[in-house]
């Protein structure tokens, strides 16, 4: 029965308007309209601009994703949509569209937590991932522009947050330091590109909270430290920029990996997974794989296209909720900009 379930998934929590068709737990098509270029002018996501762009993009994106999946709207069984966390006005566009489709087609909606979506980016069947059959308990490190957390997954849909950021997210640390260096938005990809030519030992930035036993993160101090270093420099040459980028990246990745190792030692998971936009970072991917090998546990790193925001991961999360009888079917519900993973 599950092999034929057809889900249309919608994701609009931040600055990507995305839709996907997931049939029987496999991704048939996935379309992402990124607004990154629009927000680059402002050096970050402007909520009003994001909402307006979602409104214009959402129907063409859905049309295209259905066409690519060779599926008609009338064939769809469920709509999955991101309920939160995210920007209120962005979330609203996705949810209003889902509600309109749900009424028109007389099918239920499965509201999905965006962070659960990042978990299920690790379950993409069509990709050759290290973890073939996901084993629990698992620990996931979710690192994005808005979130940084370590989560113990005891089973499908059963989450315990082990630690999270007390201030800025890891992606924000990348984005803000890039902005200070005049690199533009989003900063993560630019920092990681520049870092390839830089010396990661050139600047000794703090590894916040790393020496503490808890599994929380804090990245706002790092940002201040980068700012002071930049202010002390008489000029900022390409070489210095590369060194700054490499040193910041090293500090962020060391902190993330250090806390991940603490979590592994304490909770002894069978598998580890990675998720969120920062999971596209080359150094983090390398170090994450090394940790898997060091502790002899299976590890999963989503392919690049499923690290940053997409709707395929939302559709997959909905599929596994249905399969495990944990789906909450709704037609009437509201956005939850601060939704927690539980
Ligand atoms: O998951 P995502 O697409 O959106 C949120 O849910 O926030 O993550 C976006 C974040 C941005 O902060 C961006 O700078 C970061 O992911 N990012 C990266 C890389 N690619 C994207 N950070 C470091 N290295 C990258 N290669
Ligand atoms: Zn995300």
pTM: 0.94
Ligand 1 site, residue 78, Cβ cutoff 6 A = no
Cα–ligand 2 centroid distance for 240 (angstroms)? 31
DSSP-assigned letters across all residues of 110-133: EEEEHHHHHHHGGG-TTS--S-SS
Q: What is the pLDDT along the chain (342 residues), one digit of tens a residue?
A: 677 999 999 999 988 999 999 999 999 999 999 888 888 878 788 888 888 989 999 999 999 999 999 999 999 999 999 999 999 999 999 999 999 999 999 999 999 999 999 999 999 864 444 444 568 999 999 999 999 999 999 999 999 999 999 999 999 999 999 999 988 888 999 999 999 999 999 999 999 888 899 999 999 999 899 999 999 988 889 999 999 999 999 999 999 999 999 999 999 999 999 999 999 999 999 999 999 999 999 999 999 999 999 999 999 999 999 999 999 998 889 999 999 998
Determine which helix (DSSP H) or strand (DSSP E) holds 101, and give its type and residue range: helix 88-105
- 27: which strand partners? 22
CA separation for the pair 130, 234 (Å, rounded): 47
What tokens does 275 get? 């998720």
Cα–ligand 1 centroid distance for 178 (angstroms)? 12
3-state SS assignment for residue 17? strand
Q: Whose CA is nearest to atom 1 of ligand 1?
A: 277
Cα–ligand 2 centroid distance for 116 (angstroms)? 10
**DSSP state at residue 340:** P
Dihedral angle sign, alpha carbons of residues 287, 214, 251, 84: positive
CA dist 338 → 147, 207, 285 (Å): 11, 27, 28
Mutate to test the pocket of ligand 1, among 171, 187, 192, 222 (most ligand atoms within 8 A of CB): 171
Ramachandran category for residue 184: left, alpha or beta (phi over 0 → left; psi -120 to 50 → alpha): left
CA separation for the pair 2, 244 (Å, rounded): 50
Secondary structure E strands in 173-309: 271-275, 298-300
**DSSP state at residue 137:** S
| Residues 313, 113 contacting (CB under 8 angstroms) | no
- 16: which strand partners? 34
CA separation for the pair 32, 247 (Å, rounded): 32
User: Using alpha carbons only, what angle is made at residue 207 by residues 43 and 191, rounded to the nearest 5 degrees?
Assistant: 35
Residue 137's nearest CA partner among 281, 268, 316, 279 is: 268
Q: Whose CA is nearest to atom 11 of ligand 1?
A: 145
Ligand 1 site, residue 148, Cβ cutoff 6 A = no
Other C-beta atoms lying within 10 Å of the C-beta of residue 42:
10
CA separation for the pair 252, 284 (Å, rounded): 9
Which atom of ligand 1 lies at the shortest distance from residue 118's CA?
A: 1
Ligand 1 site, residue 171, Cβ cutoff 6 A = yes
């Amino acid at each position: 029965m599950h092999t034929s379930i057809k889900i249309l998934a919608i994701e609009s929590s931040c600055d990507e308007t995305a839709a996907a068709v997931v049939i029987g737990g496999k991704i048939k098509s996935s379309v992402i309209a990124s607004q990154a270029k629009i927000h680059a002018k402002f050096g970050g996501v402007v909520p009003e601009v994001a909402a307006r762009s979602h409104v214009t993009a959402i129907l063409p994106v859905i049309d295209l994703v259905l066409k690519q999946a060779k599926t008609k709207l009338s064939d769809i069984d469920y709509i999955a949509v991101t309920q939160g966390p995210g920007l209120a006005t962005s979330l609203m566009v996705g949810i209003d569209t889902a509600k309109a489709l749900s009424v028109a087609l007389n099918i239920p909606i499965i509201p999905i937590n965006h962070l659960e979506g990042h978990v299920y980016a690790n379950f993409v069947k069509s990709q050759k991932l290290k973890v073939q059959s996901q084993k629990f308990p698992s620990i996931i490190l979710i690192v994005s522009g808005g979130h940084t957390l370590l989560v113990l997954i005891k089973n499908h849909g059963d989450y315990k947050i082990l630690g999270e950021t007390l201030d800025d997210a890891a992606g924000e640390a990348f984005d803000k330091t890039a902005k200070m260096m005049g690199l533009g938005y989003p900063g993560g990809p630019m920092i990681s590109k520049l870092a390839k030519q830089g010396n990661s030992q050139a600047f000794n930035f703090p590894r916040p909270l790393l020496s503490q036993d808890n599994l929380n993160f804090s990245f706002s101090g790092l940002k201040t430290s980068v700012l002071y270093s930049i202010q002390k420099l008489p000029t900022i040459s390409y070489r210095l920029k590369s060194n700054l980028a490499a040193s910041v990246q090293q500090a962020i990745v060391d902190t993330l990996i250090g806390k991940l190792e603490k979590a592994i030692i304490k909770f002894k998971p069978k598998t580890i997974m990675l998720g969120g936009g920062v999971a596209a970072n080359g150094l983090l991917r390398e170090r994450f794989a090394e940790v898997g090998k060091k502790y002899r546990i299976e590890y999963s790193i989503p392919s690049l296209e499923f690290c940053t925001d997409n709707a395929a991961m939302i559709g997959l999360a909905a599929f596994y909720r249905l399969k495990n009888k944990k789906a909450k079917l709704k037609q009437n519900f509201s956005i939850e900009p601060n939704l927690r993973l539980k």
